A and B are shown apart, each in its own frame.
Chain A
Amino acid sequence: MKSISLFEEKHSFLNGLSPETKLLYVVVAIAFPALVGGTVPQLAIMLLSIALLAGSKILTKSKPIIAVSGFVLLTVVIVQTFFRGGAYTELFRIGPLVARREGFDYSLGIVLNVFNIIFAFCVFVLATKPSDMMQSMVRRGISPRLGYVFVSLFQIIPQMTEHTSTITDAQRSRGMQTEGSLGTRVRAFLPLISPVIMSSFTDTRERSIALEVRGFNSHERKTFLDEFVPSSADRPVRIALLALLTLGVAFFVLRIVGVVSWPR
């Protein structure tokens, strides 16, 4: 079945880790540099994320995500470099615009931070199957209903897109103009959207009946058809991540009380 999930099974190191471990990785990747401070930990973890993605052959899949956010970040760099307030050191000038070193440095900090977060999330999102994610959530006591909602989201959206295109074809086949001026498009809206909504209602009813006849609401303890078994690396990785997090917290506390300092 089609899914909008970015996940792809590569039988890689990351695929073998449990969803919780990868989620923990995201937490550590964001928290550790924040606790320790400075750009070095941020840079190190970002490179680690990139290495993990490359090792699992999914680095290319993160390209579109990086491209979109990169464009937004570029505007941040431009705005900060040229318009940051306060005292400044001049880098260079373009006409009346002055490039300011302080603004540039500040924006680089933001860029690094955001890229670090994005790559960490890529490690999680690109290497985790939504249904495995749901399975581990349900195991941890989250209601199967919520789990179902979570997983079905990934399937319903492509289904609706496909359905909408069939409906568009059906209405155009009856002579309806769907392209052209704003007025034409507004007029086309109702004939296109009503069948989508009406069929989602019928689909939902049918789906709930189909789930119910397979005992969805049964209170018996359920087993999983396609059980996810993490690889042997899962446990050591999780321990290492927790250790790193503890280290970060310890460093943070020591820094607050003034025992250590990180060179900025």
Chain B
Amino acid sequence: MRHTGMEDFMKKVLLAAWLVFALGFLGACSNEAPVDAVDPVDQAWTDFRAAYGELETTEEKLPLIRGFMREHPDTEYAGMLAGAVAYYQGDEMADPVGAYALLGETLAKNTDPEARYQIGMAMFPLAMEMGEPMDLGVVAEELAASRPLDFGEMIEVADAAITHEQWEVGATYAEAALGKATAEAFLSDYPDDDYTAEEAAVKADRRKAMSLANLGWAQWNLDQTEEAMATFEEAAPLKSVNYVGAADTPLDLYRGKAMLAAGEPVKAMEFLTPGAIMGSDDDAMSALREAYVAAKGNDQGFDEWIWSERKALAKSVGTFTLADYDGNPHDFSTLSDGNVTLLAFWFPT
């Protein structure tokens, strides 16, 4: 009995030891598995990016993007590629219908709120171009139900809605964006960056100018004329201009269009001219032509007038010195001297 007892005891010890070993082993497996094994979707994404990096033309890139999206519709990556589908297929290949169809199929299978927002935002301008009804408010609300929207998203929704004349949605999100147009809100969006109080105040003013420009134009189109004028007035002191003297928010464009609609074409021309002439803004240019016709009775002399305004507004480039990639310094005035020069600012991707 004793012997048997001893055997039982030993069996228990061995069993316990095995259990400790086995559980430890299983535990180790479950701890280590995610580190060792790459998720197949992540691997597919890595492969996709490597292949994409080798391609140059839209004709080459688009099938790869479409293929990845079809393979992996319910992933965050599908959301990240939505804008590329709209751009390459919708714009570059001039096939909004095909782009919209793929994005629609993907959206139907996607369950990630972030990706669904990106897909929805990419589909919206395509839908508008095709005359398909689509409520941008629904796209924004869906993401907002999963987490609070940030300023960039609010202004993006407002801007897209207003561009496509969804005034109510535009006003709602421009007003929400205005609530985030403070230095505190800006700093809390960029906790890891070292902005001074002064820099944060400048950024907040820019947010405010963007929000008010959009809000004012939405109000104007909702027939809230007085509110719109007050909103534009509030935005006016916050206006900042770019190097060529055009406003860097749509404030002047919207104010100019409002003035034109209000029957004040001369005032409208003042607001519209810099953006139309110096900012390569087609929308501002066509409104400016309309204002010119309203002020002068016809468009005779418009092109000559544009040219003289352009010369009056044009700013001389001072010189500066930068090095090329061999380290040789170049003085800009020497490079451009007497030539027509295209000066482009870019960054490699």
Answer whether A and B are interacting partners.
Answer: no
Residues of A within 8 A of B (CB): none
